[in-house]
DNA sequence: CATACTTGTTTGTGTAACAAACTAGTTGAC
DNA sequence: GTCAACTAGTTTGTTACACAAACAAGTATG
């Protein structure tokens, strides 16, 4: 049995959701990104970015760092090794799924 | 405005759903496929295959041909030109989504 | 007639994505 | 010093929909 939290047809559902797919794709390039940067990079609302990020952090795919910049709260995010692995696996699974071998 | 029925983050939701993504990928290779073949190729239950196929045909992505083989009903499916276009667009959109350009 | 197939369709339920409302604190204007 | 507007997120309510299970309509076998 795989350690993926939940799957649909072999695709990690946590990553397959378009909003999170975009978030993960961005984080995968960025190393570190803060909330506002991700807002722009994904086009999500704050509410949705927050809710989706909560799922990724609960899954252990992303880590959260909360600090203060001046007096304002500031949060940044980075992918964990597990997150990177899961994303790699997702990419491979997606490619497999979309390239079926049809028996003659 | 695009003619895509409904989208999420630029991905055609009708195609992005894993079960239908698989169905479309198979049909895209197959030209024609009947219900039982698709059952095996997708791993879906009959109920889910039927329900998902209804959405694809309602969207005009797939055409249904009902006949009788002997005395038993027999249905086969093939993608429409619109379906093929939508699938191509989906593949391109997915690739764009997963390859974000991060500003330096 | 009855039981067990076939080939699908319909229905009930639980999950979850989305937008809108909310929390908690900060800055600026008067 | 207080009121309105802003920052940075979080929580909540509604709606849609994927899935499995039940159902339908007919066929075959004994």
The per-residue pLDDT string of chain B (104 residues; one tens digit each, 9 = 90 and over) reads 333 446 777 899 999 999 999 999 999 999 899 999 999 999 999 999 999 999 999 999 999 999 998 888 999 999 999 999 999 999 999 999 999 887 76
Contact between B58 and B13 (Cβ < 8 Å): no
The predicted model scores a pTM of: 0.90
Residue A45: nearest nucleotide (C-alpha to C1'): C19
Q: Distance (Å, rounded) from C-alpha B45 to C-alpha A19?
A: 28
The secondary structure of chain A in percent helix, strand, coil, rounded to multiples of 5, reads: 55, 20, 25
Q: Distance (Å, rounded) from C-alpha B79 to C-alpha B104?
A: 42
Measured between its terminal Cα atoms, the distance across chain B in Å is: 31
Interface of B with A (CB under 8 A): 8-11, 13, 16, 18-19, 21-22, 25-26, 29-30, 41-43, 91, 94, 97-100, 102
């Amino acid at each position: 049995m795989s350690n993926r939290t939940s799957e649909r047809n072999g695709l990690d559902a946590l990553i397959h959701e378009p909003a999170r797919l975009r978030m993960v794709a961005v984080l995968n390039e960025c190393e570190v990104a803060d909330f506002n940067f991700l807002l722009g990079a994904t086009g999500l609302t704050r509410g949705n970015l927050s809710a989706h990020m909560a799922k990724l952090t609960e899954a252990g795919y992303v880590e959260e760092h909360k600090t203060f910049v001046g007096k304002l709260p500031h949060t940044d995010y980075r992918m964990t090794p597990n997150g990177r692995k899961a994303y790699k696996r997702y990419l491979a699974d997606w490619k497999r799924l979309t390239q079926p071998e049809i028996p003659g």
